[in-house]
């Protein structure tokens, strides 16, 4: 499996913002889908503030912070995620919302090998995968909070999840397939 070059994140609350940040710090293109321009402003401020904290603690340089922010694009249209290799949903922990979202993403994403991931901490991945026509490409990717600080990620497979989608690693703030 090749490295993910184009990542999408749906939701930019505490978890979504952290996920978008670590992906951008990994030098990949990130598109963050949010509900509204207000949510975009809050998400941008959350990410910029986290990058500023990392910079002030010497974890990243000012140019790394600027470059990471430049790799993140916001949208209020899920269709803008069509070209993504990996999409991680980080919306409210509500089954119907996540099921509808994954069904919609399944129809939008152009690459049949793209991975759809859920940051759920309580819903069965097999149930979420059943909302798609690609259950073998659906995984749980449960990040620990705060995402930019804790280098822990739990990968959760469903019955149909392909083994190649379970070999991901996070090192030094980077998230990539092995």
Active site residues: 142
Q: Are 37 and 10 spatial neighbours (Cβ–Cβ below 8 Å)?
A: no
- Within 13 Å of residue 70, how many CA atoms lie on the same side as its CB? 7
């Amino acid at each position: 499996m090749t490295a993910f070059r184009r990542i999408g994140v749906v939701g930019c609350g505490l978890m979504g913002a952290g996920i978008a940040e670590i992906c951008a710090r990994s030098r990949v293109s990130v598109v963050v889908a949010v509900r509204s321009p207000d949510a975009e402003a809050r998400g941008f401020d959350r990410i910029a503030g986290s990058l500023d904290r990392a910079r002030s603690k010497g974890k990243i340089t000012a140019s790394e912070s600027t470059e990471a922010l430049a790799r993140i694009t916001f949208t209020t249209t899920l269709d803008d995620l069509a070209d993504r290799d990996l999409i991680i949903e980080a919306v409210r922990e509500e089954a119907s919302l996540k099921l509808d979202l994954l069904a919609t993403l399944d129809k939008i994403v152009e690459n049949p090998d793209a991975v759809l991931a859920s940051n759920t901490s309580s819903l069965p991945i097999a149930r979420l995968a059943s909302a798609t026509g690609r259950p073998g490409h659906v995984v749980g990717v449960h990040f620990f909070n705060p995402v930019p600080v804790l280098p822990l990620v739990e990968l959760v497979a469903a019955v149909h999840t392909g083994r190649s989608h379970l070999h991901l690693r996070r090192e030094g703030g980077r998230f990539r397939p092995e």
